[in-house]
Structure 1
């Protein structure tokens, strides 16, 4: 729902530098010893051994770990063509790659440091919850989701653009889990466009300020959406539970949040507000596209406020 910035080359390169040595050691170990999973021994056969030797080169590993969001799909296609059964977790190479990139690689990452560097404040999947990360010792951090699940795509286990900070709701049991994004036609937050999602609403009752039966008089709807993401994360049903946010914006648009109030704030003695700051005061949330990650429901607020004429 919230698009993420891909121009983070310094952070991406630093991430590779952190995992590179660990990955090389793991590949060397697997080539020599294979691995064991659920008491079953897996050892690389001839073609898999050649692949792992190629993978053990720094330039090849870097290409995989730092692959751009759109290139991940191309790498998937290449792997599927070369090893047709690789995406089954009973496959020999799948288990070897899981040992290298997940058990050894991903599990060695400092998740707190990784998340902190991204400077993302809300869950990109739903924009409903904060994903603040405290110090490592505090043991409070958001989830780190593999957009392409590690059981199916273990070779993306430490790929920078495959690791998405997310809330416990979106990364919880029974939600995304091991769902394959390619099958569900989901879109990574790194590939989302600004207008892929758009909220709107319907007034279901005339007495929307105080409905007699106590039920919400506002129906929150998507005017535009990425259907795969909405289905998997159940965004349609979840946002219907937050109709009170929209109702408050409707009330503001009907009462005193008009041009005169905006002019009053703009000329407030001793304070200077930018247009985006005035918008934030008016509607109670961020509205600039590059700031939508800073507060929950910002995308909802922005779209509804635009529709109501609270902001322009």
Structure 2
């Protein structure tokens, strides 16, 4: 939900890895598909189709393209009404196959590790961690193509087109025709907040702070275009509906706001200085997470906890 910060060194690392796929030639030898292409020949093929839009285009530049550069290229191609998924054009079919095969051979473990992301970028709800076991490297993430790889095959291995996501969000996003935020350029977090909207009127079935009595809403902000993208985002990933199943978190925060007064937190800090280095660490323990927007992509439910804690004034106590 928060914007991804990726530096040039990470992009260089990923491209260096992709480039190794051409060591000795990039080959496929199957019953229906046999070919062998060198990196320099592949770059010439890329130029054949995309040189008119970018005179310096090659595989390295495509891999490192920013989301804005992708948008500009897509707009130019659409303006010229050029299609790369036309099965009647055999040359374009071969061009697409190379990119699709290159993506298939990617090591998702390495990509996720280079990006240093532990939670689904779309929902901020599910872990997508790497781990190792007796079977080797394992990943719980999928790499969603923000721009459809069938329509735009040359973005199949573009880093800012690969969105680490949980399987559920990847399925929901498939073949999307609604405009949403690409987390490498902008994000839902910058244009929508979860908002605690009071307690439902008296209900004898539930205690006052019971989660079923908590009203949780989404509030959009920004210009009209940004609000539409935020609304689309909510619609695609069912954000409001899903998070309303986690109102117990809001209920707990309401209780903690009352229990952990400034005086109580100060007392905990003074009594346990050997455990806590600062009052912030006390609050991080209370909230069960490090409330830091820069760490949002590494902690599940961090967006919800951060928004409600700000609204209740808990963060000011830190």
* TM-score interval, smaller chain: 0.7 to 0.9
Q: What is the distance in 2 between the residues matched to 1:94 and 1:209? A: 66
SS of 2:196's equivalent?
strand
For residue 124 of structure 2, give the secondary structure of its aligned residue in structure 1.
coil
Alignment equivalent of 1:229, drawn from 219, 228, 233? 233
Matches within 5 A, 1:153-302: 153-172=152-171, 175-180=172-177, 184-193=178-187, 195-207=190-202, 211=206, 216-224=212-220, 226-254=230-258, 256-267=259-270, 268-302=272-306
* 1:71 match: 69
Q: Determine the C-alpha separation between the residues in 1 that align with 2:86 and 2:238.
A: 27
Deviates more, 1:299-308 or 1:60-69: 60-69
Q: Is residue 211–residue 250 contact of structure 2 (8 Å, CA) maintained in 1?
A: no
Name which of 120, 128, 142 aligns with 1:131.
Answer: 128
Deviations 1:248-303 (A, max 9, x none): 1112223x111012212332232333354233112222211111122211110011
Cα contact 1:200–1:303 (8 A) shared by 2: yes
Q: 2: CA distance between counterparts of 1:270 and 1:49?
A: 60
CA–CA separation in structure 1 for the residues paired with 2:46 and 2:182: 32
- Any conservation in 2 of the 1:85–1:91 contact (CA below 8 Å)? no
User: 2:243 and 2:169 mapped to 1: Cα distance?
Assistant: 13
TM-aligned CA deviation for residue 212 of structure 1: 6.9
Equivalent position of 2:4 in the other structure: 4
Query: Using the alignment, how far apart are the partners of 2:276 and 2:312 within structure 1?
Result: 25
Decide whether aligned partners of structure 1 residues 196 and 276 sit closer, same or farther in structure 2, where only a CA change above 3 A counts: farther
Q: Give 1:236 shift.
A: 1.7
TM-score normalized by structure 1? 0.80
State the 1:64 CA deviation: 1.3
Check whether the contact 2:257–2:312 (CA below 8 A) recurs between aligned residues.
yes
How far the C-alpha of 1:53 sits from its partner, in A, is 9.1
Following the alignment from structure 1 to structure 2, what is the Cα–Cα distance between the partners of residues 288 and 49?
41
Give the deviation of 1:49 after TM superposition. Answer: 9.0
5+ residue gaps, structure 1:
30-34, 37-47
- Consecutive unaligned residues of structure 2, counting only runs of 5 or more, are 34-44, 221-226
Alignment of 1:81 with 2:76, yes or no, is: no
Match of 1:304 in 2: 308
Q: In the TM superposition, what whole-angstrom CA distance separates every residue of 1:121-175 from its partner, at most 9, and x where no partner exists?
A: 1111000111111137143431111111212221100001111111111013xx1
**Aligned-pair CA distance for 1:50:** 6.8
Aligned alpha-carbon RMSD (Å): 3.2
Q: State how 1:9-158 maps to structure 2 within 5 Å.
A: 9-20=8-19, 22=21, 51-52=48-49, 60-82=58-80, 84-86=81-83, 88=85, 90=87, 92=89, 95-103=93-101, 105-135=102-132, 137-158=136-157
- Compared CA separation, residues 290 and 49, structure 1 to 2 (3 A): closer
Give, in whole Å, the separation in 1 of the partners of 2:50 and 2:68: 25
- Asked if the contact 1:286–1:294 (Cα under 8 Å) also holds between the matched residues in 2, the reply is no
Deviations 1:88-145 (A, max 9, x none): 4546365333202112x11121111111121111111000111111137143431111
**CA deviation after TM superposition for structure 1 residue 204, in Å:** 4.2
TM-score by length of 2: 0.79
